[in-house]
Amino acid sequence: AAGAAGAAAVLPGCGGSGGGGRGRVAIVGAGLAGLVAAYELERDGIEVVLLEARERAGGRVQTARNAFYGDQSAELGGEYIDATHRVLLGYVRRLGLDLDDLRGRAGDLDRVLYADGKARRYREAVTPEVQAEIDRFDASVDGLAAPLDPKDPVARGAGLDRRSVADLIEELNIEDEARTLVERRLRDDYTVEPDRLSLLFHAARTKLDARAPASGTDVFRIDGGNERLVGALIDELEAKVDIEAPVTSIDRRADGVTLSVDGVREVQAQYCIVTAPLRLVSEIDFRPALPRRLAEAAAELQYGAATKTPLQYGRRFWVSDGLDGGAVTDLPIGTTWEASTAQVGRAGILMSYASGDAGLRFGRLRDSERLAAAATQVEQVFPDAEDRIRSGATAAWADERWSRGSYAAYAPGQVTRFWRALRRPVDRIYLAGEHCDSYTGYMEGAVRSGRRVARAIARGAR
Q: What CATH code is carried by the domain that includes residue 282?
A: 3.50.50.60
- In whole angstroms, give the CA distance from residue 66 to residue 184: 31
CATH number at residue 192: 1.10.405.10
Average pLDDT over residues 317-324: 94
The whole-angstrom distance between residue 315's C-alpha and the CA centroid of its chain comes to 30
Q: Does 28 fall in a domain?
A: yes
Q: Are 221 and 334 contained in the same domain?
A: yes
Q: Are 174 and 256 contained in the same domain?
A: no
For the stretch 143-175, pLDDT in tens is: 999 999 999 999 999 999 999 999 999 999 999
Q: Are 285 and 423 contained in the same domain?
A: yes
pLDDT higher than threshold 90 for residue 61? yes
The whole-angstrom distance between residue 67's C-alpha and the CA centroid of its chain comes to 22
For the stretch 100-116, pLDDT in tens is: 998 777 678 999 999 99
pTM over 0.85: yes
Q: Does 155 fall in a domain?
A: yes
Q: Are 159 and 84 contained in the same domain?
A: no
Q: Are 421 and 293 contained in the same domain?
A: yes
Range of the domain at 82: 63-106+217-225+303-399
Predicted local distance difference test score (pLDDT) of residue 388: 82
Of 157, 174, 209, which residue sits at a domain end? 209
Predicted local distance difference test score (pLDDT) of residue 216: 53
Q: Does 119 fall in a domain?
A: no
Q: Are 71 and 187 contained in the same domain?
A: no
Predicted local distance difference test score (pLDDT) of residue 386: 77
- In whole angstroms, give the CA distance from residue 204 to residue 184: 19
The count of domains in the chain is 3
pLDDT higher than threshold 90 for residue 210? no
- In whole angstroms, give the CA distance from residue 77 to residue 289: 32
Average pLDDT over residues 132-152: 97
For the stretch 403-419, pLDDT in tens is: 999 999 999 999 999 99
Q: Does 70 fall in a domain?
A: yes
Q: Does 231 fall in a domain?
A: yes
Q: Are 221 and 336 contained in the same domain?
A: yes
Query: What number of residues does the chain have?
Result: 462
